[in-house]
């Protein structure tokens, strides 16, 4: 009986560690925008990137956009603040992404990284 308890304990520890391997520190983005862009161009680049990545984007006030990504029962909500000089993407909440203690499922960080990359590409395209 003791051997069974030891094996079950070992499997529980291994399972817990495997679950942690799928999480990472929550990524927040703070990006500088190159000179020559207006706040309206930054806003447009953000909205376009969100649409490209299937985020639901809502301008909640001047300089602030809330964005929501939903996929396969997983939901993430972020707050994007922007100006002519910079933008920031900050975690607000999530469902089914194992958010706890400043960590979250790696999928969230991939979503944010892709959104940031597309914003940068859209800004580069609008600078021409």
13-23: per-residue pLDDT in tens? 444 444 446 99
Distance in angstroms (rounded) separating the CA atoms of residues 107 and 84 = 29
User: Is 10 a member of any domain?
Assistant: no
CATH number for 84? 3.30.530.50
What SS3 state is found at 119? helix
**Would you say residue 6 lies in a domain?**
no
Residue 99 lies in a domain: yes
Q: What's the mean pLDDT in 64-69?
A: 98
3-state secondary structure of 9: helix
The answer to whether residue 34 sits within a structural domain is: yes
State the pLDDT confidence band at 2, using cuts at 50, 70 and 90.
Answer: low
Q: Tell me whether residue 19 is in a domain.
A: no
Domain that holds residue 95: 25-126
Comparison of pLDDT for 20 and 111, the residue scoring more: 111
Count of domains forming the chain: 1
pTM above 0.85, yes or no: no
Q: Cα 15 to chain center, whole Å?
A: 26
């Amino acid at each position: 009986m003791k051997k069974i308890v030891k094996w079950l304990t070992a499997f529980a520890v291994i399972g817990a560690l495997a679950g942690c391997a799928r999480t990472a520190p929550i990524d927040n983005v703070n990006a500088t925008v190159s000179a020559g862009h207006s706040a309206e161009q930054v806003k447009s680049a953000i909205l376009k990137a969100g649409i490209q990545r299937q985020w639901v984007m809502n301008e909640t006030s001047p300089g602030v956009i809330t964005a929501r990504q939903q996929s396969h029962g997983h939901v993430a909500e972020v707050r994007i603040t922007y100006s002519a000089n910079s933008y920031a993407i900050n975690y607000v909440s999530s469902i089914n992404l194992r958010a706890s203690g400043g960590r979250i499922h790696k999928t969230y960080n991939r979503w944010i990284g892709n959104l940031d990359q597309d914003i940068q590409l859209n800004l580069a395209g609008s600078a021409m």
